[in-house]
Amino acid sequence: MSTPMMLPVIDAVDRAGFDVLEIMGAVQFDTCVRFLNENPWQRLRTLCGRIRRTTRQAIIRSKCALSFELQPDDINRLWVELLIKNGIERIIAFDELHDLDNIEDALRHAKQLGAWTEGWLIFSISPVHTDAFYATVARGFIDRCGVDALMIEDTSGILTPERAKTLIVNGGVKLVQRAV
């Protein structure tokens, strides 16, 4: 969707009562450049300038700020800095393999710049993906990365309420609310 297509409805979306609007990530950035012939930074500034009530969020996908290739920490730091400079208030980060080494630096940098940060756990079932595994990764997000919140995403639709309870209660992860 092009920015001009978004503008007629963006004020209504902002007033709709959402907690957060995800505005930018590597895919949106790439789409602006490759397919829409738009300046992604101008798009971000325009949307963030119009969204006043709703928290503005961007995604970090591992150390892959703008491609599927791992990039050095300084490139990912610059990505975070520019997202925040252009209106993003909240950064959510994930690594497909839950390798915190790939996102810790970017999350800590975002935190230092005043962004609210969230770690993203992608739920799966396998011999590796146990409650203990998720508890360890969640604890790492909190202790190593200093995130404000954790999210468990069930992309496959296989997380039952009972299993969610074991992850949260029995998995050893205590829910932590930090003052922002």
Task: Walk along the chain (180 residues) and give the pLDDT tens digit of each residue.
Answer: 999 999 999 999 999 999 999 999 988 999 999 999 999 999 999 999 999 999 999 999 998 877 778 888 999 999 999 999 999 999 999 998 999 999 999 999 999 999 999 999 999 989 999 888 988 898 899 999 999 999 988 888 998 888 888 777 755 555 444 444
Q: Report the candidate in 152, 144, 90, 139 with the shortest Cα–Cα distance to residue 115.
A: 90
Q: Which residues contact 147 (CB under 8 A, 6 or more apart)?
A: 107, 111, 117, 118, 119, 141
Locate the domains of the chain by residue range.
Answer: 3-170
Does the pTM exceed 0.85? yes
Sheet with 90-94, strands from edge to edge, namely: 20-24, 55-61, 90-94, 116-122, 149-153
The topology (CATH level 3) of 3-170 is: TIM Barrel (3.20.20)
